[in-house]
């Protein structure tokens, strides 16, 4: 029979490889009961080696906190820059696009080159400040209640403007992507605004560095199958790649 130490090593190796583990899968793979696996996970959590959730475990707390955008921009800056570059290549002549808010979106704004007939609609004050230096992009700043943490606007007034427009693409920065729960952000009002943005576009493109996978923000934006394209970096777990592709979502890895 496999020893406790061997089970723990197997669990930690699986976590490193896949980004998460499920109790029932581990019980089957190791030929032990689910009770045994739960005890193993409890021990490993007490040692600070993982974080338990309902029926599974992840390397860290999967719940994304509501952090300031200036704090977020220090996390994986090079990965976000490459994601922004890849996203900018998807912009076409005469596109009307919507961009939400966040550190990855601001990095994306820095990578956008002026394209003939390009219109950009955004809730992000920071992103449009960056784009204001780039002629001749037509910029539309959404109005509403200013939210300092994301340097963007939110609220019913913001959403009401979207009812009168239609755009080709939405570039969406998010705080979490969980294959079961869906795509999330840390603020419920921003999640509602993002839903309204999705309603008026032909294609939704998520920009998310690999640290966002397996995580959940407080506000759900949509189920994973509502997304058309995900752009991320090479740190994404291989098991996540397979699940995304099985959903028919185009995956771009920078």
Sign (positive or negative) of CA dihedral 252, 183, 151, 155: positive
Residues of the chain with CATH 3.40.50.1360: 69-253
CB 3 within 8 A of CB 15: no
Looking at residue 167, its pLDDT comes to: 98
CB 55 within 8 A of CB 20: no
How high is the mean pLDDT of the chain?
92
Looking at residue 241, its pLDDT comes to: 92
- Give the phi and the psi of residue 98 in degrees, each rounded to 5: -115, 135
Q: What pLDDT digit, counting tens, does each position of 95-152 carry?
A: 999 999 999 999 999 999 999 999 999 999 999 999 999 989 999 999 999 999 999 9
Confidence of residue 56 (pLDDT cuts 50, 70, 90): confident
| Fold entry, domain 69-253 | Rossmann fold (3.40.50)
Confidence of residue 180 (pLDDT cuts 50, 70, 90): confident
pTM of the model: 0.79
| Fold entry, domain 4-58 | Arc Repressor Mutant, subunit A (1.10.10)
Looking at residue 65, its pLDDT comes to: 63
Cβ burial, residue 3 (10 Å; 0-12/13-18/19+): exposed
Looking at residue 72, its pLDDT comes to: 67
Looking at residue 200, its pLDDT comes to: 97
Q: What pLDDT digit, counting tens, does each position of 58-103 carry?
A: 887 776 666 666 676 768 899 999 999 999 999 999 999 999 999 9
Looking at residue 104, its pLDDT comes to: 96
Residues 35-49 as b or e (16 or more Cβ within 10 Å = b): ebbbebbeebeeeee
Residues of the chain with CATH 1.10.10.10: 4-58
Question: What average pLDDT does this structure show over 184-205?
Answer: 96
Looking at residue 68, its pLDDT comes to: 66
Q: How far is CA 58 from CA 14, 31, 51, 164, in A?
A: 10, 21, 5, 42
């Amino acid at each position: 029979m496999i020893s406790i130490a061997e089970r723990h090593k197997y669990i930690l190796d699986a976590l490193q490889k896949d980004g998460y583990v499920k109790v029932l899968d581990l019980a089957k793979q190791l030929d032990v009961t689910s009770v045994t696996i739960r005890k193993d996970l409890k021990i490993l959590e007490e040692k600070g080696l993982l974080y338990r959730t309902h029926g599974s475990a992840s390397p860290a707390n999967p719940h994304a906190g509501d952090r300031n955008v200036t704090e977020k921009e220090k996390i994986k800056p090079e990965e976000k820059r490459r994601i922004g570059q890849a996203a900018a290549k998807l912009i076409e002549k005469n596109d009307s696009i919507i961009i939400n808010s966040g550190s990855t979106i601001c990095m994306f704004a820095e990578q956008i080159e002026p394209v003939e007939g390009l219109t950009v609609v955004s809730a992000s004050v920071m992103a449009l400040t960056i784009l204001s230096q780039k002629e001749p992009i037509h910029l539309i700043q959404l109005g509403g209640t200013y939210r300092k943490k994301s340097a963007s606007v939110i609220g019913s007034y913001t959403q009401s403007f979207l009812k009168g427009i239609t755009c080709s693409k939405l570039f969406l920065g998010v705080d979490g992507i969980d294959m079961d729960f869906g795509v999330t952000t840390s603020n419920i009002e921003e999640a509602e605004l993002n839903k309204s943005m999705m309603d008026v576009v032909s294609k939704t493109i998520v920009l998310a560095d690999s640290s966002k996978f397996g995580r959940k923000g407080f506000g759900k934006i949509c189920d994973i199958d509502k997304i058309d394209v995900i752009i991320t970096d090479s740190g994404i777990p291989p098991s996540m790649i397979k699940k995304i592709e099985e959903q028919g979502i185009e995956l771009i890895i920078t």
